[in-house]
Structure 1
């Protein structure tokens, strides 16, 4: 079966709860969408606001506090919020990448911390992390164990590789600029290739359920794992997967029974969070981002601006303004679409009012580098 680009787009929107706001609890919603990129503390909240009817951010606060949803370094060696039941398998699946980049990486080795040191220290580190502790506390502990004050890169490498969770610290979005870390209650198995291979299969099934259909390259991009590992896992899973053909003839994989809406399915406008996972989950980013706009929304340092989706595709960017939401469209939008965006802007302004009305303010410098485009201030009331 051959799928069109529009059918792939609608499949993603359906599985990512972006065709309509769903009535779900926070835990189930996070499980459904697989992972919410979380290096900016507000983004998981805005991601769920886009996806859930009557979303109450206090429910996500409680989920983080109770470790029903956890935040940790996982796929693409960056911070994600995931359902607690997924954490162990996800960590085990991406461990080879974490280990290579953070224990064998040049920054860690330059610190004087060897891989052998790290392996020996990990059991004691996790015992020390029995409650939330700050970076200075961990660095002091590491200095005692090594006998010399460690370079910052030593803790940097350990904290990304070890099964540590970010512990909630401060409002307005549960996590502040000075993170605390605590050992994961469910401990992944470390440095075991067989376990990692089995867990990669679980990650792939979860990924296809939330983002599929997808290619080998898409899976590898999402998780940042070697394509050879992905191919081996897909070969093992072959009897349980559907094989499809993408618009360019590429082989795609999917889980049976997952939604694949008709390409004519209507997609409402959305004001998306920074680094929304849907924009970064594929090797072929054109599933949601028109190629001409990719460099506009994904900046040279990796910042992914808060975007607007129109008919399922990125059509511009947004940022809070004094009286509402400023929207910059990269192409002409009809009046009806502007009216729909204005309704979203009123909802978003109200949502941010009690938390952080000028969220993402520190990234405003990127707007000076955008080309001239159609910009409107959408009032918050």
Structure 2
């Protein structure tokens, strides 16, 4: 069986994540190809597209959000993602069992709540008028006095596909999110994909990959049977782990040049494999994944994480993990210009907090 080296896996991942060059794709097509962008914070999806697309402008993504072509909601790993409207309606049903299982395992699952009744009332409320979490929580607490409000809200987030409405999610906009159901916001019902198609799309965006990798990305379990019934090519990595890929997928030569790229916080390129060594050396993980659950922005040099970065009011700071080439500073200036940040580039010795 063919062995794929770490560098071969790196170049395949970079190609599929649109990171070997800047592509001439529309933002919607890029989001679809990437199966969404991690979107816990407001600005990272914009940076994710800037680093991947030729000539991307912030207003392009803003328009997709306000025109209801792209939405933010809980999907893979029960985390907020920004996906196309079509993918929202296709992916959420197939991920629903994972969301329910995660809720049951959580501390909120011990509340013994009637999820069906909560979902019914919440749907009536948010479809009549989009509500903030605070307003929805108060309404639910009136119906279930004495129950933990956070548990009630998590029950809603689990059972209903609640999308966060603009202006939440637009560049630089914070504040309380307002939500309604995906069906109400998009004006059409769910159109579920299959688990088989979900795995194919995962491999197209992140492969070659193992069963454990696909489960890490999606949060779903028992995907072995899906891989076994698909007609996939098989490989092993340098540790003997079996990997799968689509038969016609491109895997660039390991020596393919890889440009300097700035990835935003929470970028899925770092979050979608059980074994991240194809892009992040294990010894550097503590510098990227913080104890309080944050994933710092990173800088790729020759395809691998070589630094972290943070845009502050007074500077764009870069924290090297090893010696960096001059191209890093040049790309940092381009990022600052994209963000309309007239700040210097500073290289610091300790990871930004």
**CA offsets 1:234-287 (integer angstroms, 9 cap, x no match):** 223x23x22222222221111222221000000001111011110011000111
Query: Match of 2:199?
Result: 204
1:52 Cα offset (Å): 0.6
**CA offsets 1:19-48 (integer angstroms, 9 cap, x no match):** 011111110010111121110111111100
The separation in 2 between residues aligned to 1:74 and 1:343, in whole angstroms, is 35
Q: Which residues of 2 match residues 110-189 of structure 1 at below 5 A? A: 110=111, 114=113, 117-130=114-127, 131-146=129-144, 151-170=149-168, 173=171, 176-185=174-183, 186-188=188-190
Query: Match of 1:373?
Result: none
Q: Which residues of 2 match residues 21-100 of structure 1 at below 5 A? A: 21-100=22-101
The separation in 1 between residues aligned to 2:94 and 2:281, in whole angstroms, is 31
**CA offsets 1:62-91 (integer angstroms, 9 cap, x no match):** 111222111111111111111222223322
Number of residue-to-residue matches in the alignment: 343
Change (3 A) 1:137 1:324: closer
Secondary structure of the residue that 1:294 maps to in structure 2?
helix
Secondary structure of the residue that 2:180 maps to in structure 1?
strand
- When normalised by structure 1's length, the TM-score is 0.83
Q: Does 1:234 align with 2:223?
A: no
Q: CA RMSD in A?
A: 2.5
Q: 1:345 aligns with which of 321, 324, 332?
A: 332
Question: Does the aligned pair in 2 maintain the 1:207–1:219 contact within 8 Å?
Answer: yes
Question: Does the aligned pair in 1 maintain the 2:141–2:149 contact within 8 Å?
Answer: no
The separation in 1 between residues aligned to 2:99 and 2:169, in whole angstroms, is 29
1:97 Cα offset (Å): 2.0
Change (3 A) 1:127 1:258: farther
Query: Match of 2:306?
Result: 315
- Following TM superposition, the consecutive aligned residue runs of length 4 or more in structure 1 with deviations greater than 6 angstroms are none
Query: Match of 1:367?
Result: 351
1:120 Cα offset (Å): 2.6
**CA offsets 1:344-371 (integer angstroms, 9 cap, x no match):** 11111111117x979xxxxx9x8367xx
**CA offsets 1:293-324 (integer angstroms, 9 cap, x no match):** 01111112221111110000001111235665
The separation in 1 between residues aligned to 2:289 and 2:297, in whole angstroms, is 10
1:129 Cα offset (Å): 2.0
1:136 Cα offset (Å): 2.2
Change (3 A) 1:265 1:103: same
The separation in 2 between residues aligned to 1:325 and 1:210, in whole angstroms, is 30
- Compare the two structures and name the one with the higher helix fraction: 1
Q: Which runs of 5+ in 1 are unaligned?
A: 190-194, 359-363, 370-381
